Structure 1
Amino acid sequence: MDRKALSAAFPVTLPVLMGYLSIGIAFGLMLEKAGFNFIWAFFMSLTIYAGSGQYLGVSLLATAASLGTVAVMILLINFRHLVYGLSMLEKFRGMGRRKLYMIFSLTDETYALLAGAAVPVGVDPKNYYFSIAVLDQIYWIAGSVIGGVAGGLLAGKIDITGIDFAMTALFVVIAVEQWQSYKRHLPAFLGAGCTVLFLIIVPALWGLGQQQMLLVSLGVIVVLLLALRSRLEDRTEGEEVAAQ
């Protein structure tokens, strides 16, 4: 590990440290409450490393969901990472075996840091990018393990009801920021409309549960957004030109 790159990356990742510790602790507490100790939290954060996916994983583990359901739901929820990876191909070029880890570790927050990264003078860019990615995952692992250990020590002593809303609250904040950033809100309406529609239709017509409803709604949302992609991009470019 390049110490110079690590020292340069640490101040940049401090906001992620604050966020990942708090959300990671909430995840560890939830996992402990579901009957899985901090060792599970450690290995899930080490190998899965997806905040929304891991939060969802807690409920899936608790309900003993099938492997197929888990795989499809995680794929749909993290579908945006495919786009992240494509936009980072040039930055990751020439990183050798580290490229595989960089692809794996590309969370929303790490992507944001890498996308706007200004490499300090005298620091190797590839080592700098790698240091950012490694530090961010260390923060997430630390938070989830702390939460798991705390959940075990404080079991029955504190009420953590509602702590699972931490990730929901984070996504609400992100959604509000996105809403304020764009004049066109068609994607938001599509997402909300499909979710509400299938929440009513799927259980009523087919008698399926919430997991299946989520699969259907996420699948339809992805298909609709792909079908309307060119239209949405044209409108966005038009708004940018008008603004200039």
Structure 2
Amino acid sequence: MVIDPASFSTTAVVDHDRRHSPEWRRALQASLPVGIGLVPLGIALGVLVVQQGLNPWWAMVFTSLIYAGSLEFIAVGMVATLTPLPYIALTALLVNFRHVFYALSFPLDRVKGRLARFYSMFALTDEAYAMSVTGDRRSMTGRVMVYSQLYLHAYWIGGAILGATAAQWIPENIVGLDFALTALFVVLSIEAVRAQSGFAVPAIAVSCALIARLVDAEHMLPIAMGAFVSLLVVRYHVTRRKVPTDA
């Protein structure tokens, strides 16, 4: 009998236990670091709802039904000023247009069941997308993905309710809550870069963002995403031609 020494390594044991732990627990462990960043953002949203003169229960409405992060912050002001629905719909399309690109690589095929798929599409946020595409495929199953999205949604709703409830005790010009979003995406970006085999794709992404910022800062996101996807398509075809084919 041949014994593989690698089977006794700490890493192998940890990975084995992690993959065979309950899926809800794996999802909780994966979503908790992201949730720590979402709660302060939810608190900021809840405070904003009250400061705009809306009833605190609007915080639950926004986070439960819209669940679109940056769009919710914009929607609070639009609802408070009674903006017409067509303008709100157009704003939602422009702000969340990046989700069209997310759908190209989001592993929805892992999710089984019509209801679960519907919720997974509804709850597709930047954080959920980053977790699903950078996580280990063996551990990031369809159920783990949906559980993770449920947890992230709960963190967001809970933070907003907490912020709306405690808004009267929170100063209007408190510093730091808005930076939680920046810090969160810095961490997610670092994890995405570490998951890459090289630095070509991250370098292309940073270059597209900087150029788009210089070209048109107000429309930076669609310009950067369009250029990034176009360059990835070109890179794919170039590298595909370099791969030798069997005679």
What TM-score, normalized by structure 2, do the two folds share? 0.69
Aligned residue pairs: how many? 211
Corresponding position: 1:47 with 2:68: no
Corresponding position: 1:193 with 2:193: no
- Which residue is equivalent to 2:234? 234
Distance 1:228 1:166 in 2: 25
Distance 1:172 1:101 in 2: 23
- Which residue is equivalent to 1:83? 101
Q: Residues 116 and 146 of structure 2 are in contact (CA less than 8 Å); yes or no, is this contact kept in structure 1?
A: yes
The Cα shift of 1:31 comes to 1.1
Distance 1:106 1:34 in 2: 27
Per the alignment, do residues 104 and 25 of structure 1 end up closer, same or farther by CA in structure 2, a change over 3 Å counting? same
Q: What aligned pairs does 1:1-244 form with structure 2 within 5 A after superposition?
A: 4-92=22-110, 94-118=112-136, 125-151=141-167, 153-154=168-169, 158-160=171-173, 165-166=178-179, 169=182, 173=186, 181-182=202-203, 185-195=207-217, 217=219, 222=222, 226=226, 229-231=229-231, 233-234=233-234
Distance 2:61 2:119 in 1: 16
Distance 1:119 1:187 in 2: 28
What TM-score, normalized by structure 1, do the two folds share? 0.70
Amino acid at match of 2:60: F
Partner-residue secondary structure (3-state), 2:128: helix
Per the alignment, do residues 129 and 223 of structure 1 end up closer, same or farther by CA in structure 2, a change over 3 Å counting? closer
Partner-residue secondary structure (3-state), 1:65: coil
Q: For structure 1, which runs of at least 5 residues remain unmatched after alignment? A: 196-213, 240-244
Distance 1:135 1:8 in 2: 11
Write the deviation string for residues 135-192 of structure 1: whole angstroms up to 9, x where unpaired: 11000000111001011x42xx733366774477459958x979x9415624432244
Distance 2:113 2:67 in 1: 21
Distance 1:172 1:132 in 2: 17
Amino acid at match of 2:59: A
The Cα shift of 1:85 comes to 2.2
Per the alignment, do residues 168 and 65 of structure 1 end up closer, same or farther by CA in structure 2, a change over 3 Å counting? farther
Distance 1:94 1:26 in 2: 35
Write the deviation string for residues 92-125 of structure 1: whole angstroms up to 9, x where unpaired: 453332100000101011111111233677xx93
Q: For structure 2, which runs of at least 5 residues remain unmatched after alignment? A: 1-20, 193-198, 240-247
Structure possessing the higher radius of gyration over alpha carbons:
2
Amino acid at match of 1:182: A
Q: Residues 92 and 99 of structure 1 are in contact (CA less than 8 Å); yes or no, is this contact kept in structure 2?
A: no
